[in-house]
Amino acid sequence: MSFMNPCLKFTVACALVASGLSGAERRAGWRMERGENRELFAIPRTWNHDFDGPTGPYRWGIVSATCEQGKSQSPIDIVPSQTVGSASAAPIVLNYPKTGLVVENTGHVIEVPYETSAFAMIEGTPYDLLQFHFHTRSEHALNGALYDLEVHFVHRAASGQLAVLGYWVKGCNQLDTTCKPNLVLDEIFANAPETKGEKDTHKELNPFEFLPVRRTGTGGVLENYYSYEGSLTTPPCSEGVRWFMSKDVITVANESLKKFRSIIGNFPTYKNFQFNYRTSQPLNSREVRSFGSN
Ligand SMILES: [Zn+2]
């Protein structure tokens, strides 16, 4: 996931947090560019997802030590045969009213901020929905395999605890009769701004038109999922994030996927690298729990 608590809107402070550097470090980076402080030359001013690049996922430890040293990092490879089954159901009730669709290009993800009051009820605690965004390929693997895309719905409880509900998305050929049209995702990617910091406002959005959850009137219920304790999947890779990955998968047309990847390739510093996912991190001593049917 990509979420910089508590930056709901783009501000200078948020940009600093998003770079993973303090104000002093960024100023040092600025001096470095002018050759005034060679010692600081190694401090990257930005990070990206290019695996071969100097500021890519395998080097995020330079940006935030937690990315390298954390023991509860996300994403992970979910292996169903090694998960712990739950005897009782634990449905997550989703209350996401319709809202005006705003699509934002953050320079690392395409994000839809959620300004209407919306929440997920998890084990009796309400978690407010802050935004949702997309990664391609998927971040979580299933039995070692990646899907084409992953959506992250980022929530926060009054205590500050973060919970992310993730959904795998599979690309499909529109000519294939099993390819279900996904008008909401088509609309989001067709209208996603091509430049960092830009925001486009469009027609009304109803997330239940594309989420693979059981509908209940105006709401929905996530019943089939895996859960574990993890982290943000982008710097600063902070831990203590509750993860819930839906077992039911969304489909999207390959054309929309292609459009999304071309936008990523145009993110600052991505230089046509058309992916924004982090690879699986060690599970260590964590347990992955399985709820609902498979
Ligand atoms: Zn994310």
What's the gap in Å between 134 CA and the centre of ligand 1? 6
Q: What is the pLDDT of residue 110?
A: 87
Predicted TM-score (pTM) of the model is 0.84
What's the gap in Å between 204 CA and the centre of ligand 1? 23
What's the gap in Å between 35 CA and the centre of ligand 1? 35
What's the gap in Å between 221 CA and the centre of ligand 1? 21
80: Cβ contacts below 8 Å, ≥ 6 apart: 142, 143, 226, 290, 294
Q: What is the overall mean pLDDT for the chain?
A: 84
What's the gap in Å between 151 CA and the centre of ligand 1? 7
**pLDDT > 80? residue 87:** no
**pLDDT > 60? residue 19:** no
pLDDT grade, residue 29 (50/70/90)?
very low
Contact assessment for residue 46 and residue 268, using Cβ atoms and an 8 Å cutoff? yes
What's the gap in Å between 48 CA and the centre of ligand 1? 13
What's the gap in Å between 34 CA and the centre of ligand 1? 34
- For the chain, domains (ranges, CATH) are 70-291 (3.10.200.10)
Q: How far is CA 88 from CA 184, 213, 270, 292, in A?
A: 33, 18, 45, 8
Q: Mean per-residue pLDDT for 57-85? A: 96
Residue 258 to residue 239: CA distance in whole angstroms: 32
pLDDT grade, residue 1 (50/70/90)?
low
Burial of residue 96 (number of CB atoms within 10 Å: 0-12, 13-18, 19+): buried
What's the gap in Å between 173 CA and the centre of ligand 1? 25
Instruction: Give the residue among 289, 276, 241, 58 at the shortest CA–CA distance from 149.
Output: 276
What's the gap in Å between 135 CA and the centre of ligand 1? 6
**pLDDT > 80? residue 140:** yes
Residue 43 to residue 127: CA distance in whole angstroms: 36
What's the gap in Å between 3 CA and the centre of ligand 1? 7
What's the gap in Å between 31 CA and the centre of ligand 1? 32
What's the gap in Å between 91 CA and the centre of ligand 1? 22
